[in-house]
Amino acid sequence: METEIRQLVDMGATVAQARAALKRYSDVMEAAERIFDGAFDDIPDGAAASSVPSADPIRQRSAATRLVTPEEDDNAFDDAVGSDDESEDDAFVNYDSDYEIQDDTNSAQVDIDPYAGCPEGGEQGFLFSLYSQLIEGHCPCPSCGYSIPRAKSHFFAIFSSFEVYISYLREIVRKKCKKCSKVFCFACGEPINGPKVPESTKASNDNDLFHCSNLQGIILGVGLAMLEQLYHDQLQNPLGHENKVRTSKRRKTDPVINAPMILDPDDDDDSYLSPPTQGKKSKLGVGYAGDQKEDTTGQAEAHAIQIAKDEKLGELMAQLRVFLPSLRRLGGALTSDYLVHPTALAHLRRRFNNICSSLLRNDSLTDMSERSSVYFELFEWLETISNHEALASMMAMPIMVVSSVRTHTPKRGTDGTLPLRERTVIYEGSSGPRELLESIVIQANAAIKGLEGVRPIEAAVDEMTEEQKRLNNDTKGKSKEVHMAHISEENQKLFEFCQRILSTAVAIDRSLRETKGEKFLERVQESLPKIHSSHSASNEVFIGSEASEETVRKTYMEWATRVRFEYCDLTVPTPPDKPPTQDEPPNYKFYYNNDARMLASSDIPKRSLAIAKELAVLTTNLPVAWDSSIFLRVDETRVDIIKALIIGPEGTPFLFDIFLGHNYNQLPPSVKYMTTNGGKFRFNPNLYADGKVCLSLLGTWAGPGWVSGKSTLLQVLISIQSMILCEEPYLNEPGWATSSGTPQSNAYSANIRRMVVKTAMLGNLKNPPDPFGDIIRTHFRLKAQSISAQLDQWLAHDDGLPTANDGASASCGRGYLGSSANGLQADIEELTRLLKQLQDGGSCSGTVPSQCS
């Protein structure tokens, strides 16, 4: 019995669990499977944990945190490959779990199975069952019973490349019985009919590797392990530095093509190169060549390296995708396409989901299009997975990610044994592949809208007939066809990439409808992020006054994230007595109306490309927080016309008009500050009463300026949000930066607060600027309690001085609007009353308080 206990301990069980399982189940494999399913999790470890030490000290240290695949010696395999003085365990893939952590302090990977406790409780058991079946015992002939012994080296050896591994499997999968000469599959033991096809003429539909689901589970497990390892190697060594120091002994590098090798990241051509030759200066730095003088050669080199790595990753993904279950395979579906092994979903969720999640979280559509070799292949994977009923549900499944890791201090046993490494890992469900893809779909739609440039306003559409509605519903989710007469090569590249993203989303949704049903797709669609427009329902949110602060904050964040970016109609309605002419451009509710009208019929490809890239980023990356957020509204037909509402300190909304001119982004955008009380108030040393915004990025202030092709509108918005709309604006004035907390600074802030209450709060609430009425009302409604408390503090700290119209001169006693009471208390009382009405479900619009109801 001690031998069986040792086997179970080496698999990851405790001694107490092993003894209890063996008392109930005589078979070791059955006992192991029940342990993995959690049937003995309630049994305490006790003092017996050290009574049967593991033969492998590394595995002994990690046994408390992971289930480890059992390893065996295989002398026949050693003789075939050649031995060295490294551990034999390194030559095989850990089939049923992730790679072990080699260094607790440096590695970002976690060696605990995030899906071990999921509802699919048998997942770990399926993995172990297939592994144990194919490394132990014998494979009997289905005709006469003659058996051929199996070894770990037959299916689970790691080779130098996936292509070599597949070639090796083709050689061993067909076995001919020495007794009856029947040919059968070495993986499942079933007969293989038909002659062996020569390698040179082999096609996918006559490949022996599609004979059974066992082979499918093996290939996906080993192939995805290679894919994941390659991806993590590229992340750890993004620029392929040449002066890399090896941390392990070098194995033989001249194997026969069918000889397995260690999956060693240092053996990759891109990650292990010879040391730099003496006398030649090695390049340092990130993104540049590391010279004293900055240039772009380093960037070009880094880009070339990234492209090479993407091509290598995409090639491996393409080779492995052939073995995904697919009923739409060219030439017809095969056996393993119909009989999907239970481990296929487990492998994809454990390994591919992490890679998929990382790639889809890329917030730069431009970067994605430049890395098209790997992203196009990723889209092929997503479509293939969604096409099969056994895998389609993975599109909506949350991806398990690590939220926190806590390491426990190890304790050495009383008998001197090595301490156990204990770690508590908390996993949480993150967005699934389809939800992550929708964020990119939003960016792609925004980019296409930018590439379209200036478009004429579409005529009003008459009410559709029932037949038209039915046809429209049948094409739900399909992107409308876009025609662009003149488009540059770079614009065309981005446009085609965006179209590929949209077609992938449409194909996935169509497959989900066919395989999982309409209701399933509806639930998925409801959970997807969306970009609202002026045609959407009201964006106002109501919440009870009894709601807790945590609930209010959560509601505010969800609401702000949903409505931070929208398309809307910013045109000025044409008077009924003056119908518009076809050639006359419309007017806009916009400071730069004349500039916009002058570019009404322009077609500037470089400008369109720059705007497309901007919109792709802005749709999903505008900052949202309880203390400060940015909301954008873009005209539906003129994406160069933008209005921004930036929530400053203490929840104060400020309005800006933004125009992307004819030479954008060779030059910065035009930005005008609009919350000025009719050009009377200067709220900040960098915000003038006439609307001028002083910022180095805009060329209106000293400092780092706009960089053509690199600087972005998002940088401008965040700079205004963080650097100008600050809590102590007095310090923004040149020469006053060291005056924090001085009487002058305090007086300046008190004067600003009076203007803020009168104009930015009370004025915006009574007469909200178009098109931010719903945003301002909901903002003040959800933050009513915190703003009311802030108003009480402002009133208590007010100095009683009259309000100065020029904040910069407040501390000097100039520019007062009057010499009597400053009116702050009256403004706060009115604002408090309006906040109470908002909380009670009323509205606050109009120019006088009596109009608020």
pLDDT score, position 382: 95
Q: Name the helix (H) or strand (E) containing 328.
A: none
Compute the distance between CA of residue 634 and CA of residue 531 in angstroms, rounded to an integer: 12
Could you tell me the pLDDT band of residue 1, with boundaries at 50, 70 and 90?
A: low
How do residues 284-293 score in pLDDT, each as one tens digit? 333 323 333 4
Higher-confidence residue: 695 or 303?
A: 695
pLDDT score, position 527: 84
Higher-confidence residue: 535 or 355?
A: 355
| Cβ proximity of 400 and 117 under 8 Å | no
**Residue range 830-837: average pLDDT?**
91
pLDDT score, position 71: 37
As a dihedral over the C-alpha atoms of residue 363, residue 367, residue 368, residue 374, rounded to 10 degrees, the angle is -130
**Residue range 698-715: average pLDDT?**
87
Q: Residue 436 pLDDT > 60, yes or no?
A: yes
How do residues 247-277 score in pLDDT, each as one tens digit? 333 333 333 333 343 333 333 333 323 333 4
Q: Residue 508 pLDDT > 90, yes or no?
A: yes
Could you tell me the pLDDT band of residue 207, with boundaries at 50, 70 and 90?
A: confident
How do residues 57-70 score in pLDDT, each as one tens digit? 333 333 333 333 33
Q: Residue 223 pLDDT > 90, yes or no?
A: yes
Compute the distance between CA of residue 492 and CA of residue 490 in angstroms, rounded to an integer: 5
CB burial class (10 A; 0-12, 13-18, 19+) of residue 803?
buried
SS3 for 357-385 is HHHHCCCCHHHHHHCHHHHHHHHHHHHHH
**Residue range 185-189: average pLDDT?**
89
C-alpha to C-alpha distances, 704 to 550, 557, 642, 695, 699, nearest whole angstrom: 40, 33, 24, 9, 9
Active site residue 188: no
What does the angle CA 349 – CA 354 – CA 356 come to, to the nearest 5 degrees? 95
**Residue range 662-682: average pLDDT?**
91
Compute the distance between CA of residue 26 and CA of residue 724 in angstroms, rounded to an integer: 74
Q: Which residues contact 214 (CB under 8 A, 6 or more apart)?
A: 130, 133, 134, 185, 187, 188, 341
Q: Which residues contact 566 (CB under 8 A, 6 or more apart)?
A: 531, 532, 533, 534, 536, 539, 632, 633, 634
Compute CA 464 distance to the chain's CA centroid, rounded to the nearest angstrom: 38
What residues does each domain of the chain span? 97-276+299-360, 532-851
pLDDT score, position 667: 93
What percentage of residues in the chain have a pLDDT greater than 90?
25
Task: Return the closest-CA partner of residue 309 out of 361, 370, 250, 248.
Answer: 370
Structure tokens belonging to residue 460: 């009003």
pLDDT score, position 249: 39
What is the three-class DSSP state of 648? Answer: strand
Write down the catalytic residue from 118, 180, 694, 726.
Answer: 694
Q: Residue 283 pLDDT > 50, yes or no?
A: no
Compute the distance between CA of residue 529 and CA of residue 439 in angstroms, rounded to an integer: 7
Computed over every residue of the chain, the mean pLDDT equals 75
pLDDT score, position 603: 79
Structure tokens belonging to residue 699: 């060329």
Could you tell me the pLDDT band of residue 743, with boundaries at 50, 70 and 90?
A: confident
C-alpha to C-alpha distances, 327 to 319, 385, 393, 568, nearest whole angstrom: 18, 11, 16, 44
Compute the distance between CA of residue 368 and CA of residue 495 in angstroms, rounded to an integer: 12
pLDDT score, position 577: 72
Sequential DSSP letters for 726-757: -S-GGGGSTT-TT-TT-HHHHHHHHHHHHHII
Task: Return the closest-CA partner of residue 168 out of 197, 139, 208, 133.
Answer: 208
User: Among 344-358, 477-491, 721-735, which is the least confidently predicted range?
Assistant: 477-491
Distance linking the first and last C-alpha atoms of the chain: 82
Higher-confidence residue: 353 or 280?
A: 353
Higher-confidence residue: 560 or 116?
A: 560
pLDDT score, position 158: 75
How do residues 801-830 score in pLDDT, each as one tens digit? 888 876 544 444 444 444 346 788 999 999
pLDDT score, position 323: 93
Q: Residue 163 pLDDT > 60, yes or no?
A: yes
Compute the distance between CA of residue 460 and CA of residue 463 in angstroms, rounded to an integer: 9
Q: Tell if the pTM clears 0.75, that is, is over it.
A: no
**Residue range 601-614: average pLDDT?**
87
Q: Residue 410 pLDDT > 70, yes or no?
A: no
pLDDT score, position 847: 39
What is the three-class DSSP state of 627? Answer: coil
pLDDT score, position 305: 87
| Cβ proximity of 77 and 151 under 8 Å | yes
What is the three-class DSSP state of 92? Answer: strand
Task: Return the closest-CA partner of residue 619 out of 523, 530, 499.
Answer: 530
Could you tell me the pLDDT band of residue 620, with boundaries at 50, 70 and 90?
A: confident
Could you tell me the pLDDT band of residue 83, with boundaries at 50, 70 and 90?
A: very low
Q: Name the helix (H) or strand (E) containing 397.
A: none
What percentage of residues in the chain have a pLDDT greater than 70?
70
| Cβ proximity of 375 and 493 under 8 Å | no
Altogether, the residues listed in the chain come to a count of 853
pLDDT score, position 400: 76
**Residue range 45-54: average pLDDT?**
43
Could you tell me the pLDDT band of residue 206, with boundaries at 50, 70 and 90?
A: low
pLDDT score, position 542: 81
b/e for 735-745, b at 16 or more Cβ within 10 A? ebeebeeeeeb
Could you tell me the pLDDT band of residue 117, with boundaries at 50, 70 and 90?
A: very low
What does the angle CA 199 – CA 202 – CA 204 come to, to the nearest 5 degrees? 135
Q: Which residues contact 440 (CB under 8 A, 6 or more apart)?
A: 360, 362, 365, 368, 501
**Residue range 587-605: average pLDDT?**
88
Sequential DSSP letters for 440-487: HHHHHHHHHHHHH-S-PPPPPPPPPPHHHHHHHHHTTTPPPP---SS-
Task: Return the closest-CA partner of residue 657 out of 676, 683, 629.
Answer: 676
- The residue assigned the tokens 């098109």 is 771
Q: Residue 849 pLDDT > 50, yes or no?
A: no
Tell the CATH topology of 532-851.
Ubiquitin Conjugating Enzyme (3.10.110)
